[in-house]
Amino acid sequence: MTTPDPTRPAAPGEVGSSPQDRQSAVPISRRSAESEAGARPAGEGGAGREEHARGLAVNELVVHYRDDDGTVALAVDHVSLDVAPGEILALLGPSGSGKSTLLRAIAGLERPTSGRITWDSRDLADVPVHRRGFGLMFQDGQLFAHRTVARNVSFGLEMARIPRQEQRARVAELLEVVGLAGFGDRDVASLSGGERQRVALARALAPRPRLLLLDEPLSALDRALREHLAAEVRTALKATGTAAVFVTHDHDEAFAVADRIAVLDDARLLQVDTPVQLWRRPATVRVAQFLGFEVFVPAADHEWLVGAPGTALVGAPGEPASPGRADAVVGGVDPDASRLPGEPTAAAGEGAVVGGQVLAVGPGALRLADDGPWSGHVVASGFRRGVTHTAVAVEGVGEVTVLGQEPVLIEPGSPVRLDRSPDLST
């Protein structure tokens, strides 16, 4: 990769390209941040990891920010993770979880309170944003309206003084990758929202960044288009061999794009795993709740339901907390991790589990059956995308969603019984 010239302005899509990016972050001294926000013992809130010889490594990173009223808040709490060359890591979490702040710290736009960020084992603490060789893509493409598609894509190459023949070849290559071959002479004003984001992605990839940072790049699009473009983003990143950190609050989007997913909540890293492992074995009830699982029951008391589609075992008895999983379940549920913020502790018989394996039950795990072991009553019933969604309040368990192919809506209040859904292989 060509090292960016520190004397030139960064190109759009490259870290440091916007006036806001080039503003100096107001640093908070480590001493004042720890005294005002309260320091945590080293290792708590994120287990340290050995830094990879190559790629990105974040070790015990802490970031504070100061609100307009002067209050200091904790945005990133002892987070450790890594991204290998060519790997796509999604940062998944609700609003306010710290994922965008973590991304900005990696980019060099937020100054950490403590911890280290390295690339190929080199500490980036003193490396300015425009010298890191990282690219950045936002939800609004920030395209130049007065430039054609091709000249938007080539802008970073022009700023780097790449020979024009190489520019044309690189632009043609990337437009092919993002599905816009033949669009080079088009005005960006004539493009749809999805096409504009494809151009923004091509422009971000053009200078061959060693790491691309994507902050909610699809969130401004409608759901159908987001689902389509998520697969295209992954294809483009893999085709170019570009390592990436992809921020999103949409777990479907994260599952479609990423090789691994890091789940954050309340500034803490809860779990890092492959999409398959994350779905099959969420580390905590909080992780499972965010993924869409609805109720939690003792697995030992519901063996008939274990292994059904739409269910997952939470943690594992005797399983040690792996790196980046500070509150992973070990032989039970962390009471704090098992509740949503502000939610009271569940009483016995309402899905509370003090010890033993926990079974998470999500939409589609259950079907209507006259002789099923669970009984309840219908709360609501609707028809979406060719599937009937029936919300059922199960006695002593909670509310679950039953999915069906028959377009028959059940009257709210109707009594029903439920059994496990058939295995997908049958």
Chain position carrying tokens 């709490």: 77
Distance between CA atoms of residues 350 and 371, nearest Å: 22
Angle subtended at Cα 340 by Cα 337 and Cα 346, rounded to the nearest 5 degrees: 80
Asked whether residue 111 carries a pLDDT value surpassing 80, the answer given is yes
Distance between CA atoms of residues 272 and 325, nearest Å: 7
pLDDT band at 5, cuts 50/70/90?
A: very low
Q: How large is the average pLDDT for residues 227-250?
A: 93
Contact 60, 115 (CB under 8 A): yes
Q: How large is the average pLDDT for residues 188-195?
A: 90
pLDDT band at 74, cuts 50/70/90?
A: very high
Contact 21, 103 (CB under 8 A): no
Asked whether residue 361 carries a pLDDT value surpassing 70, the answer given is yes
pLDDT in tens, 49-67: 444 458 999 999 999 988 8
Asked whether residue 4 carries a pLDDT value surpassing 50, the answer given is no
H/E/C letters for each residue in 102-127? HHHHHHCCCCCCEEEEEECCEECCCC
Distance between CA atoms of residues 176 and 408, nearest Å: 45
pLDDT of residue 65: 86
Chain position carrying tokens 């306010």: 96
What residues have CB less than 8 Å from 78, skipping those under 6 apart? 40, 42, 43, 44, 45, 46, 60, 61, 62, 115, 268, 326
DSSP letters, 128-184, are -GGGS-EEEE-SS----TTSBHHHHHTHHHHHTT--HHHHHHHHHHHHHHTT-TT-T
Distance between CA atoms of residues 389 and 281, nearest Å: 25
Question: Amino acid identity of 303?
Answer: E
Lowest mean pLDDT among 250-259, 288-297, 351-360: 351-360
CB atoms under 10 Å from CB of 249, counted, come to: 18
Domains of the chain: 19-263 (3.40.50.300), 289-426 (no CATH)
